Structure 1
Amino acid sequence: MSKFWIIALDVYKKNVKSVSFFIMLLLPFIVAGVSYAAGHFANQSNEVNKIGIISKQKELAEAIAQTPGSDYQFEVLGSEEDAEKALHAEEIDAFFVLSADETGIKGELFSESSLGTATEMTLQQLLTGIQGTTRAQALGLTPEEVASLSQPVTFTKQKVSFDDDGKMSIGEDNSSVQYVIGFAGTIVLFFFIMTYAGIISQEIASEKGTRIMEVILSSTRAQTHFYGKLFGVLLVAATQLIVYVVAFIISYQWIKDMDIVKNFLGSISLQSILSNFLIFTIIFTMLGIFIYSVLAALCGSLVNKAEDTAKVILPVTYLSMGGYFLGLFLGNMSPNNLVVRVTSYIPFLSSYIMPIRLANETASIGNALVSVAILVVTSIVLTLGCAKMYKSNVLVYNDNGIIATLKQSMRLMKNQK
């Protein structure tokens, strides 16, 4: 077996057998299970809020009390003193003081703890509706006329395409589903970059910190050691991705018969989703993990001891966060923005932004191919450059910071030519 595979398999076995890897592997399943259990028990044990109504206008209080609600129920009380006593005795969860004059209806909610944003917004909307009805009656409008004024407009969106003769045809619009996939891909990419950038930099820094690197490089080439470490960590990342894919395929056998899943799959075209868009999303995700891992490996070779790893990969962290937030927020809010269009071709950022542009259909397959080509070329050049610098980097021990270490490494590399 070649030295490359010995190094790669050693890194792979050491990481996949670690407790931290199993925790990291199971964490999404644990979070999903806890979220499902919490929502299930919350729905079963959800108590209805009992709200007291106090108002000098009895008709107003009765109108509010008769309004149905799944999260609350009303009880008309005689005075604020009665409401305070009932609240203190925990007979009610809150009380609502209402008043009405020529300026409109006013409501003031008193409670010891929050009833929840949803309930509070519903109460406000309820008062707004009653106020609108009251004012409409004062203006002599009928309920039908009031309903026609508040009727929302009809708005639809159609995806169109043109044939060679310029004739337009309406096609399927899967942009919403593509957006969800692009959004999920962005989160997965960020999670994997943060995780494996730390792992590969720690792998290299730990060996350099123990001063064993001189012995290793005496028996193998520096480039072989670098590529073996990098490939071993990427195998660990691939293993985690494969586990998640297999878990999804297995779980799909249970969820495919659920009504919500059937309705969702019936409203989209799987062929269009599972074709170019998904392929490019996977390509950008894998290339993004690779190029950031190479950069993290370079940073890890510059430290003197493993304890400094967290500080040395800060440039990788900030660069990844920049692409993450740029794609997640600006890319979704304004996909045609000049900044978004330019950064979708810039390596390190394109892995985040181009899938979002594809999801919003503001980039063509040709644009994606150009971005992939730039990212691939940059990854190859960066990998070759980092491998060339690796030998001198791991032999330099400098306490004056990363920049000083890098300068000393460059001088050493020139002297070795």
Structure 2
Amino acid sequence: MNKFWIIAGDVYKKNVRSVSFLIMLLVPFILGGIVYAAGYFGSQSEEVDTIGITSSSTELAEGMSDSAPAGYNFKVVDSQDAGENELSAEEIDALFVVDTADNNQLDGTLYSESNMGQSVELTLQQMLNDIQTNMRAQELGLSADEVNSLNQPAAFEQQSVSFTDAGDMQIGEDSEDFNFAISFAATIVLFVFIITYAGIISQEIASEKGTRIMEVILSSTRAQIHFYGKLVGILFVALTQMVVYVAAFAISYQWVKDIEVVKNLLDTVSLKGVFGTFLMFTLAFLILGIFIYAVLAALCGSLVTKTEDTSKVILPVTYLSLIGYLLGISLGSFDPSNIIIRITSYIPFLSSYLMPIRLANETASIQEAVISLVILVATTVLLTIASAKMYKSNVLVYNDKGLLATLKQSFTLMKNK
């Protein structure tokens, strides 16, 4: 047991003290700072793009200019030719030409040397739609109030409900959107952690095997102890990274909780409901997901003959993780009741991505989550034990004929023992 902790401690210290780990820790904070700075300076910028407007109807062009939304600067130009000259001279940033057909059909064309962005295009499109609606309403003899009544959207609200033993329905607090945001973030975090730590642990093992140091190490300790020590050391590194992010969130929460947007969000959810069963299951699937992929990556890394082949041998880990990630981001987000999502949420390697999303969308019960978690735990244990037994044979086999040939030779060596 002493050798186990020595190996685990060595792996942990080596990775935590590395420059790459520090960079990995700081990247989310750097990206967050860049996004915040971009948003802040963007909101402080006083530069407004000037859009020239011309139309066969001067009244229409002047009306659009007078009703310019906040953050837009419209300028009426006499004709399209005049607008093109001003656009060429960079006196305006874009030219918006509006033509009117006989049936009150408006056709707008935006000319610009550079892309103005989708926000500008959608705003101009909405303005044309509103003007065209008003023109056709006047043609039909409708008043402004009648037009507003027609454009009034229907009210829609979703309520989370539960039923008592007597069958009475009770309205509960709806935290579905907030839960979904957490599960969506957990999906991204899981994918990033899997790719990162699968590479680290496979490189750890492959580098020792490639330099033949592994043979010296296994002469002084059991292969299983070395395998488990590597796994636990890497898992502690991942947990350290999680703890740092949780601590950073807890500290920053003291500043962001008073922001208006955050306050409005917190008023709509029950923190007791969020930081309860759902969060516990999400964390359990997250940690187990990282661990089972780390075991698979360690197994693949032990089959490497040359260190430079590490990136190739962990491709099964990468592709398997990518399948779970894409299912969670696509089908899991937009169709959580899909039969594919329901089935794969019980399959190990994929359930870590999909079951938290099903829980967030309330398409899976606690009982179903427990079943999926038990299957994942059992698979993780069995895979870990099997990988540990194969580890000694794997790290002593050197075969240049590929992964399957190495694995076949390893099985032969195990049988002979």
TM range (shorter): over 0.9
| Residue 259 of structure 1, CA deviation | 2.2
Deviates further, 72-81 or 244-253: 72-81
Partner of 1:203: 204
Matches within 5 A, 1:383-402: 383-402=384-403
Partner of 2:94: 94
Q: Hey, what's the Cα distance between the residues in 1 that align with 2:345 and 2:56?
A: 62
Q: Helix, strand or coil: the match of 1:400?
A: coil
| Residue 81 of structure 1, CA deviation | 2.7
Matches within 5 A, 1:6-21: 6-21=6-21
Partner of 2:47: 47
Q: Which amino acid aligns with 1:19?
A: V
Partner of 2:24: 24
- Give ranges in structure 1 of 5+ residues lacking alignment: none
Deviation digits for residues 338-386 of structure 1 (CA, Å, limit 9, x no counterpart): 1111111110000000000000001111111111100001000000000
Partner of 2:271: 270
Partner of 2:75: 75
What TM-score, normalized by structure 1, do the two folds share? 0.98
Q: Hey, what's the Cα distance between the residues in 1 that align with 2:84 and 2:266?
A: 52
Deviates further, 261-270 or 403-412: 261-270
Partner of 1:404: 405
Q: Helix, strand or coil: the match of 1:173?
A: coil
Q: Which amino acid aligns with 1:54?
A: T
Q: Hey, what's the Cα distance between the residues in 1 that align with 2:81 and 2:343?
A: 65
Deviation digits for residues 117-152 of structure 1 (CA, Å, limit 9, x no counterpart): 111111111111111111111111111221111111
Q: Helix, strand or coil: the match of 1:54?
A: strand
Q: Hey, what's the Cα distance between the residues in 2 that align with 1:134 and 1:226?
A: 75
Q: Hey, what's the Cα distance between the residues in 1 that align with 2:75 and 2:335?
A: 48
| Residue 4 of structure 1, CA deviation | 0.5
| Residue 56 of structure 1, CA deviation | 2.2
1:47 touches 1:71 (CA, 8 Å); kept in 2? no
Q: Which amino acid aligns with 2:128?
A: L
Q: Helix, strand or coil: the match of 2:62?
A: helix
Partner of 1:61: 61
1:71 touches 1:119 (CA, 8 Å); kept in 2? no
Q: Helix, strand or coil: the match of 1:219?
A: coil
Partner of 1:382: 383
Matches within 5 A, 1:314-329: 314-329=315-330
Deviates further, 404-413 or 321-330: 321-330
Q: Helix, strand or coil: the match of 2:219?
A: helix
Question: Alignment identity in percent?
Answer: 63
Deviation digits for residues 29-80 of structure 1 (CA, Å, limit 9, x no counterpart): 0110111111111111252121222222122112212112223222222222
Partner of 1:287: 288
Deviation digits for residues 214-236 of structure 1 (CA, Å, limit 9, x no counterpart): 11111100000100111111111
Matches within 5 A, 1:132-151: 132-151=133-152
Partner of 2:175: 174
Partner of 1:242: 243
Deviates further, 154-163 or 290-299: 154-163
Q: Hey, what's the Cα distance between the residues in 2 that align with 1:376 and 1:222?
A: 23
| Residue 261 of structure 1, CA deviation | 2.0
Deviates further, 251-260 or 288-297: 251-260
Deviates further, 6-15 or 405-414: 6-15
Q: Helix, strand or coil: the match of 1:86?
A: helix
Partner of 1:301: 302
| Residue 154 of structure 1, CA deviation | 1.0
What TM-score, normalized by structure 2, do the two folds share? 0.98
Q: Hey, what's the Cα distance between the residues in 2 that align with 1:99 and 1:257?
A: 49
Q: Which amino acid aligns with 2:3?
A: K
Partner of 2:227: 226
Q: Hey, what's the Cα distance between the residues in 1 that align with 2:128 and 2:257?
A: 42
| Residue 85 of structure 1, CA deviation | 2.2
1:48 touches 1:70 (CA, 8 Å); kept in 2? no
Q: Hey, what's the Cα distance between the residues in 2 that align with 1:5 and 1:414?
A: 30
Q: Helix, strand or coil: the match of 1:218?
A: coil
Partner of 1:333: 334
Q: Hey, what's the Cα distance between the residues in 1 that align with 2:263 and 2:52?
A: 43
When the two structures are aligned, how many residues end up with a matched partner?
416
2:19 is the alignment partner of 1:34: no
